[in-house]
Every structure is written in C-alpha cells, then in structure tokens.
Amino acid sequence: MVGHLPPHRLKPPEHSHRNASNHTGCSPPLRIAGLPSRLIELPVLHFHNMTTGQLFSQKTQALFYNYKQLPIQRMIDFDFLCGRETPSVAGIVNPGSEGFQKLFFGQEEIAIPVHSSIEAACTTHPTADVFINFASFRSAAASSMAALKQPTIRVVAIIAEGVPESDTKELIAYARANNKVVIGPATVGGIQAGAFRIGDTAGTLDNIIQCKLYRPGSVGFVSKSGGMSNELYNTIARVTDGIYEGIAIGGDVFPGSTLSDHVLRFNNIHQVKMMVVLGELGGRDEYSLVDALKEGKVQKPVIAWVSGTCARLFKSEVQFGHAGAKSGGELESAQAKNQALREAGAVVPSSYEAFENAIKETFEKLVEGGKIPPVSVVKPPQIPEDLKTAIKSGKVRAPTHIISTISDDRGEEPCYAGVPMSTIIERGYGVGDVISLLWFKRSLPHYCTQFIEICIMLCADHGPCVSGAHNAIVTARAGKDLVSSLVSGLLTIGPRFGGAIDDAARYFKDAYDKGLAPDEFVESMKKKGIRVPGIGHRIKSRDNRDKRVQLLQQYAHTHFPSVKYMEYAVKVETYTLSKANNLVLNVDGAIGSLFLDLLAGSGMFGKQEIDEIVEIGYLNGLFVLARSVGLIGHTFDQKRLKQPLYRHPWEDVLYAK
C-alpha cells in the first residue's frame, strides 16, 4: 500500500523506457511512477522568488489535482517526447479516492499513485514541487491554498475560470509572503520546451512537434491568453529557434503572477536571449513591465504587443473574452499600452500582423551578433497512438473480445434484438415479449409470450419447504444480503429440483421423433437405469393431480396449433401410472413437452435450432427466472419478520451409530 512506502523518489529503472519492449518471454512489468524502489538520499528543495529565474526543468515533478485522464496523459506523452527518464506526474490527488491510475509512458504502461488528500500526496512525493490544479472554480481556491501551505510545493497552477477575486487576492498575498509562485487562475498553464508541460498547454502533440517544443530554444514568452499562446508558439517557431519557456498568466483581473514577473524571471535565465510578450486591453499589468524597462531591470530585447486595438471601433465599452479584457479608460486601452511599451524601449510593431516580422528581425540581429548559437537538430521519438484513436481513424484493426447479438446500447436508446426500448413500451410488450427478444432474438406470437408468462407465474414459488426456498430462508436468517440468499436458493436447482425441464424435453423429443411407443420409451429408460424426467411427484398422484399441469394443458389445447409432444407425454404418463400411483406428469414434464410444441408449432424455429435451444438449457432458464421471484420474496419475508438465525431441531435428525 502507498501509505507503507517510504516517501522517496522513484529510482529510474536500469533500462530506459525506450527499450522496455526488449524483454523476452513476457511483457514488461507495470511500473509504478512516483514511488521509490529503494531508499536514496533526497535532494534539498530550494525555493526562489519570481526574479531568480527558472521554475521548471527535466527533473520537475508535479502533483495533479482532480483526476483528468487526457491532460495527464498529454503531459506524460510530452515527457516521453522530450526524452525524460521518468514521468513528470508523480501523483494524482482525487479527494475520496486512493489506489493507482494506469497511463502510458511511451509504449510502457505505468501506474500513477492516487491519493485522497493533498497532505498525503505531498508526504509521499516530497520532490514534487509543482501543483497543477484542475478543480472547478468552486473549490479551486481552497485546494490551491492547501497546496501552497505544504512546505514541498513551490508552484501552483490554477486552471479554473471564475475563481472569486477575493480568494485570488488571498492566494497571491500568501504566495508572495512565502516566496511561492501562482500561475493563473483562468490559465492553460505553461511549458518549458524539452522539459515540462502543464496540462494541455500548447495543444496537440502535432502542434508541439510543429512548434519544436520538444527541445529548448532561445525565446521566453509570456501571455495573458492561453489560446493565443498556441498561435504565438507557432509564430515564434517559424522565425526563431523556438521557445525556451512559455507562460500563460491567465485572463482574470488579478493574475497570480504578472507579465513583468515572468519577463524579469526570463531576464535571469541564461538560455533565454529574448522575450516576447502578448498583453491585452484592460487592467494596468503592462505598466509594471514599462516601469521595469525604464528602470533598466531588463537587459534583453523585449518584443511586445497588446491586443484589443479594435476596441476603439465600438461606440460603447466592450467586454472581450477574459474577465480582465475590458478597458477601464484610456490608460487601459491597447493603444496606450503599446505606446508606453514602445517609449520604454520594447520593440512594438505597428500592428499584430507585423508582430511576426518584429520577432524575426530581433532574433536575426542576435544571431548576427553571435549571442544565439545554432540549435542542434533533434528528431523527437514517435509517440504510440492510442488504440481507440487509431481504430477510429482507420489506421489499424483490432479483434473484439465479446460478441453480442441480443442487445445494443450504443445509440440514443437501448435495443433488444433490434427493437428500440421506446417501441417495447409503446406497443405494450410484456415480460414474455422481452424474453422472446433477448432469449430467442425474435418477436414470438402473442400466445407464445403469454405461455412464457404463465410458466413464470406458475413456477414462481412452491412454498417454503422445497429445497431452494429452504436454502434462501436459512441464508436470509443468517443475516446475509439479498444476492447471497438468492444465489443460495438458485444453487439447489439441478436434476433433482427444478432442473428436469430440459431433460424432459430432450427425452420426450428424442422418443417421439424416433417413433418409440410410450411403453418402449419407458422400458428403455428403465434398462438404462434412468428415471423418466418430468414423470413422478412426491405429493401429487392419479387422484391428486397438479393443478399447474392442468392449467398449462388447458392453455395449450386452446391456443397452440399443435400439441403432439404434450400428447405423447400424456401417453407416457398413462403407462407409468399403471406402474405406480404417483408417477404422474409433473410441471417439469408439462413445461418441457409444451415448450417443444411452442417451438415446433410456431413455425419460427428449425429442427436444428430447437435441438440447440434444448441442449443449451433455455427451458431450465425459464424455471431459474421464475423461481428467482419466489426466492427473493422468501428473503424479504424473513427479513421483514426479523427472523433469528435458523438452527435445525435435534428431534428432526436421526443420529445413527
């Protein structure tokens, strides 16, 4: 169990994830990510404020809050693409759940530990210093604050939109007071090329490869907009050597970290040679960057653009997509911010269309000046495609594991043998009709389905003394649940109790089809040492006939087109009664012979199919279904009466020596 393992980092396996398939004889074992294989010395965590530089690296480990399979899998796919030795997701926090979640690291299937609380996750994974919060806006603030208060957490990314501004202010204040970093709320996250990715940042793997994000470039990028980040990653990759790190701070009025926070941080990262900033109208965040530029705190080129210049075309104030994208006056307009940034020394183009060229020219000057060395060409590994995706796109074919011909739940409503559920209700179908569809895969005539329902009613119960009911009663009185009591009763069904319907049908059919006279049939069974199934009763006799048998025979004479098998069974009964008074046709024999007449007389089944129905056990299935109703009733009856544990009386036992 997770709780019994020492909270240390997983030692990378001796074989890389790239050669996991080289094992012979069996598949590679399931690797548990984020948990230790043996005790090793822990690295010391150093927390830095926003101005000291790098937040992430290829060693960064994260905790993911509120399980979302796709974003986690995309993070791990990015890890594999970048050549990381271990996945970046050390553990998942899913309140109320514990265990493991299976995911893929390349072709290797791994198990990520799932914890029920933030505290437990942080204790188990002390080197995980990034907390990625996918909680809803209702719980994002509380869970983020709980994470910030953990000594091991250094960075918290809040994805949710709509977090109350008062809660966000508290998070910002706490983070700044404790030298921690908040990215968001309302953010897609961030990415360090070739090292670490938050959630869905940068979109699909195809886009990541196209933007060369699987290896580091020289550009630090920060934006308010997550959607526009993807666009700029692509733009920057076209005209430079690519992104080193990209952050979307989020579009709320009060972001946890600002544009200038990250620009100042990029300024202290040696690998970042230039910065690209994408702001937007509304708020005054860009002016803190203006101040930093004027004060000489930024020594690297900054190419900036503030979007929203079209707002002046509207007669009234316009609220754009983000909560903060609303101009509160001239100073908050995109034009004013662009002008201020230009005057402070940033490279600001005349329009967004000219933004790409401005980035290109700045990069080329740095290359010409020898400040940016050439980036070595790296070919990323192929990410295996998920089977479901490959099948959907028609790239592969895979065998199914189950065949079903009786029902289909893939459409708008379930279908029984092709008949929609709504049709079953609208046409007033009964239980017999449903059995007809699910067992026989066709709509039988009404007299057939009515006969099925009569069988169920007549066989539902036969009192508390028969073995099945007795077992269910004893089990219920032992305090067991409904299913246990029901199964206890059902397990007594067999050749001696309720299970003779199939055998009765099989022997009666075989004898009739061979043209055996009733006496020949009975005597041949006697020679084989086999009692005739469906004949004989412990209570009923020639003078005390089973009313159930009479009702079934009466129904069949009235509605069935043919009763040849039942008539043969009656002739067999006439012969056996000459031998003993209790060798009457019982309910098993009646149902077995009449079901043969139903199948043969309906004209909907061939001889081979009838033989198969009898052989498979359809008719015993009818008894099992019917008797389940009574067994459930006996169970409820005992529980309702609050009957104590049953103990068989001594006087009812013969203690023989």
Whole-angstrom Cα distance, residue 289 to residue 277? 10
Whole-angstrom Cα distance, residue 628 to residue 418? 27
Scan for tokens 């580091």, then name that residue.
Answer: 216
pLDDT score at 483: 97
Side-chain-side CA neighbours of 464 within 13 Å: the count stands at 10
pLDDT score at 34: 60
pLDDT score at 29: 53
pLDDT score at 538: 85
Contact 288, 297 (CB under 8 A): no
Give me the catalytic one of 17, 115, 125, 322: 322
Alpha-carbon distance values, 538 to 496, 497, 501 (Å): 12, 12, 17
3-class secondary structure, 92: strand
Beta bridge partners of 104: 109
pLDDT score at 31: 64
pLDDT score at 318: 58
List of long-range contacts for 203-212, beta carbons under 8 Å, 24+ apart: 203/230, 205/74, 205/77, 205/78, 205/81, 205/383, 207/233, 207/234, 208/78, 208/81, 209/81, 209/380, 210/234, 210/237, 211/236, 211/237, 211/242, 211/243, 212/237, 212/241, 212/242, 212/243
Task: Give the Cβ contact number of residue 615 at 10 Å.
Answer: 11
Low-confidence ranges of the chain (pLDDT < 50): 1-28, 36-48, 321-325
User: Cα 370 to chain center, whole Å?
Assistant: 52
Scan for tokens 């059919």, then name that residue.
Answer: 509
Q: First-to-last CA distance in the chain?
A: 54
| Residue 322 bears catalytic tag | yes
pLDDT score at 50: 62
